[in-house]
Chains A and B, each alone.
Chain A
Amino acid sequence: MTALELKDVSISIADTGRRLVADLNLKVEAGSVTTIMGPSGSGKSSLLAFIAGHLEPPLRGSGTAICGETEISGLPPELRKIGILFQDDMLFPHLTVGGNLNFGLSATVRGRRERMQRIEAALSRSGLDGFAGRDPASLSGGQRARVALLRTLLSEPRALLLDEPFSKLDATMRDDIRDFVFMQAAEQHIPVLLVTHDEEDARIAMGPVFDISEYARP
């Protein structure tokens, strides 16, 4: 059972000393979605960046992040095995859809044929049959969002971080993709931490909701 646990996490701006997040403690159980809400600039995204290891100066984080038995906050991002999705899908435009998925697919899956099969299977489970050879630029926003999630999940992350990944999608598509993401994550049985300012997201996630502005201290 891997849970994602934050202990006394604080994030501050180095030059001014202003604290965006102070002494946050929280535990996300495997298979559940915890939502973090707050106005823009409240440090939601910075918290995810801290967990994934991408926090850039002048922001500075302290405290520990633990995933399962491993303390990940001291590791370089590539060894943390924390998947993250951003507002933009960040599909690599120089690779095909299949190339993007192959880039994500864990290296423990060996052999060209085996890897191709895994990719094809993931695509067809997501209603994207035969998309492996397609250029990401030719996909709709919803299709791209699915591919981005698949790419992350194929890397077998220990936890999934969602940084407002639905905010740029059309209203009609949003429900669809949101269901898809939560379902896939539940299937993988990993903890999910969602950052959003959309109440609807939080309601459908059906997990605990944190308002991050309560954790800010001047």
Chain B
Amino acid sequence: MKRRGTQKQAIVVAALLCGGFLLPILAGLWQTVLPAFGYLPAIGATNVNLDAWRNLFSTPGFGTSVGVTVFVGFSATFLALVAAIAFHAHPRVRSWTRFDSLFATPLLASPHAAIAIGLAFLIAPSGWLFRLVSPELSGLSVPPDVTIVNDAAGLALIFGLVVKETPFLILVIGAALNQLPHQFYRASARSLGYGPGAAWVLVVFPQIYPQIRLAVYAVLAFSLSVVDVSVILGPGTPPTIAVQTLRWYSAADSEMLLTASASAVFLTALVIGAILLWWLAERVIVFSSTWLLACGARHHWLNFVAKAHSAFGSVMLLTGGLSLVGLLVWSMTWRWNFPFALPESWSLAIWSRSMGDWSSAFMATLWIAVSSSLASLVAAIAVLETLDRSGRKGMRALTIFIYLPLILPQAAFIFGLHVAFLQSDLAGTMPAVAWSHMLFVFPYIMLALTDPWLALDPRFARAAASLGHTPKQILLHVKLPIMMRPVLTAFAIGFAVSVAQYLPTLVIGEGRIDTLTTEAVALSSGGDRRVIGVFGTLQALLPLVVYIIARTVPAFVFAKKKGMAGARA
């Protein structure tokens, strides 16, 4: 009897996952592919043809767009990965926990757009860096006439992506390291005559790479297809493919929807091709590393490389931190002329003056983030609990499934999803936007919760069951209280993911739902820096505050339980 109940539950959960998650993504993909070949009855296009593709390829500057997109995607991913690898090369020099609380948390919690805006304020010709060194060191009394942000080669965009993705990869590598007795591997290699750099690069890293591979692909896919960061830091004419796609999609001429769809399909193919190429490069590196090891040389040069790159990683983290501080400084500025290093007069007037604008965006952001994270959290717990009860089968299939929306470019299915939504009255409403956020919030919550959930000692549940408690009672009174910290942390991560969403909010919300992120990006081109500073600060601060609450509550609740010491750290 009990067996059948579990089976039924597993089927319901699987059906819900497919219906609420896989199906919409596939439908979105389908509704993107059809218009790309001329079929979009909503605008009266029913002739299947290749016109959209012809339009796409004959767009002036299209080749340049492709080039800069590919260049940015690969460079950003490569540099962020190298910085993250180097960061872990000297385990004794850096204290991971201190790093965790000081830099990683704010950088991980802040939306990409907030960091991008902060970085633009930092490195622009009239930005903070130039103000700090002017006029004493640079001799400048007016901002230099050079293009730094929005440069045609996409260097500022690469910079922004590396600043944001480095802490993410550092975290992912750190989590993978926790599952390996890496200190013993390092000690073994060093006793055999290899330096710390070589021990890490040749022995430990190859062992953890399989575990971080999907995360690296996700970073690559993201770097190739990001919209908001590219609008803020990326090249303008021609822009990256993702931005160009959004421009076509939002064009007044509805014919351009077809070109936009072709462009989205093209971008998807580009991402898939890039991942394949990256995979090939992995093979080449594995092959050449056997050659590197064959002669028995101890490769002490890797120590210097690791040290140099480690410095690079630190600069990235510092830049990220400075970018966020810059947002706060600008938001409290009253007057700040070039070349003063700090504002000449400070004031909170901008905060109160722009309150009418930011309070509604703030409430919308909060509502969407709370509802999408809460719903995703419940769904994730349902999935994990079902896995527990059915003997943890199907984990592998689930992992690939979770990564699907993280590896597919958003543009591949968000536009198509909107087309599908147009047939209902839901497009442009808050619930629709919240639901579209769930497509990205749910995977991250699953990623955050799965490992701690599976690590929970199954004997707690067995002990409770043998005392006569039902599975439901066990979940509510044993598992969830013990799992309070990871559950709340997962919620905070989901919350941050929702706050960061730009494209789904813009497209599914049809521009009628304004969140902190959409507003900040809209203002970022040519708005008042002080107002942008307010939006950016709120955007960065909101997820951070939620995260801090998520970490403090369990510590408070379990203050007198020594066995729950993990909940207090």
Contact = CB atoms under 8 A, between A and B. Distances in A.
A44 B185 CA distance: 20
A53 interface: yes
A92 B296 contact: no
Interface string B278-305: 0000000000001001111110000000
Given A57-B92, A102-B294, A115-B296, A88 B194 contact: no
Contacts of A104: 192
Q: How large is the interface on B (under 10, 10 to 19, 20 to 34, 35 or more residues)?
A: 20 to 34
A92 B207 contact: yes
A77 B188 CA distance: 10
B187 interface: yes
A34 interface: no
B290 A77 contact: no
Interface stretch (A35-43, A78-86, A133-141): A78-86
Contacts of A157: 191
Interface in B195-212: 195-196, 199, 202-203, 206-207
A56 B295 contact: no
B187 A103 contact: no
Contacts of B183: 54, 56
A155 B192 contact: yes
Contact of B181 (A88, A95, A102): A88
A78 B193 contact: yes
A84 B298 contact: no
B295 A112 contact: yes
A90 interface: yes
B191 A107 contact: no
A118 B189 CA distance: 20
A107 B206 contact: no
Contacts of A57: 92
A84 B92 contact: no
Contact of A88 (B184, B193, B195): B184
A205 to B, nearest CB: 21
A82 B191 contact: yes
A152 B181 contact: no
Given A56-B183, A102-B294, A84 B188 contact: yes
B192 A103 contact: yes
A125 interface: no
A133 to B, nearest CB: 12
Contacts, number: 85
A139 B293 CA distance: 22
Contact of A155 (B181, B193, B202): B193
A112 B191 contact: no
A52 interface: yes
Contact of A99 (B187, B190, B290): B290
A102 B187 contact: no
Contacts of B193: 78-79, 81, 106-107, 155
A76 interface: yes
Contact of B295 (A99, A107, A151): A107
B296 A77 contact: no
Nearest to A104: B192
Contacts of A151: 192
A76 B192 contact: no
Nearest to B91: A56
A90 B296 contact: no
A208 interface: no
- Which of B92, B199, B207, B298 is the most central at the interface, judged by chain A CB atoms within 10 Å of its CB? B298
A20 B206 CA distance: 36
B185 A76 contact: no
A106 B194 CA distance: 11
A84 B189 CA distance: 10
Interface range on chain A (Cβ under 8 Å from partner): 35 or more
B191 A52 contact: yes
A152 B191 contact: yes
A78 B207 contact: no
Interface string A87-105: 0101011110001001111
Contacts of B296: 102-103, 105-107, 109, 115
Given A52-B191, A88-B181, A99 B92 contact: no
A54 B294 contact: no
Interface in A50-72: 52-54, 56-57
B305 to A, nearest CB: 16
A102 B294 CA distance: 7
B190 A78 contact: yes
A102 B194 CA distance: 13
A76 B195 contact: yes
Interface string B198-230: 010011001100000000000000000000000
Nearest to B286: A94
B523 to A, nearest CB: 48
A53 B298 CA distance: 18
Q: Which of B187, B189, B206 has the most CB of A within 10 A?
A: B187
A78 B181 contact: no
B188 A90 contact: yes
Contacts of B293: 95, 99, 102-103
Nearest to A52: B191
A88 B182 CA distance: 12
A177 B202 CA distance: 29
Contacts of B206: 94
A90 B185 contact: yes
A99 B206 CA distance: 14
Contact of A112 (B188, B189, B294): B294
A92 B203 contact: yes
Contacts of B187: 49, 52, 54, 77, 84, 86
Nearest to B186: A54
B181 to A, nearest CB: 7
A53 B191 CA distance: 9
Interface in B159-201: 181, 183-185, 187-196, 199
Nearest to A116: B294
B295 A152 contact: no
Nearest to B181: A88
Contacts of B294: 102, 112, 115
Given A56-B92, A88-B184, A92-B203, A77 B295 contact: no
Contact of A92 (B185, B190, B191, B295): B185
Interface in B306-330: none
Interface in A150-192: 151-152, 155, 157
Contacts of B189: 103
6 contacts: A53-B190, A83-B191, A84-B188, A84-B191, A92-B203, A115-B294
- A-B pairs with lowest CB-CB distance, top 4: A77-B190, A107-B296, A90-B188, A54-B187
Given A77-B191, A103-B189, 5 more contacts: A81-B193, A94-B206, A103-B192, A103-B293, A107-B296
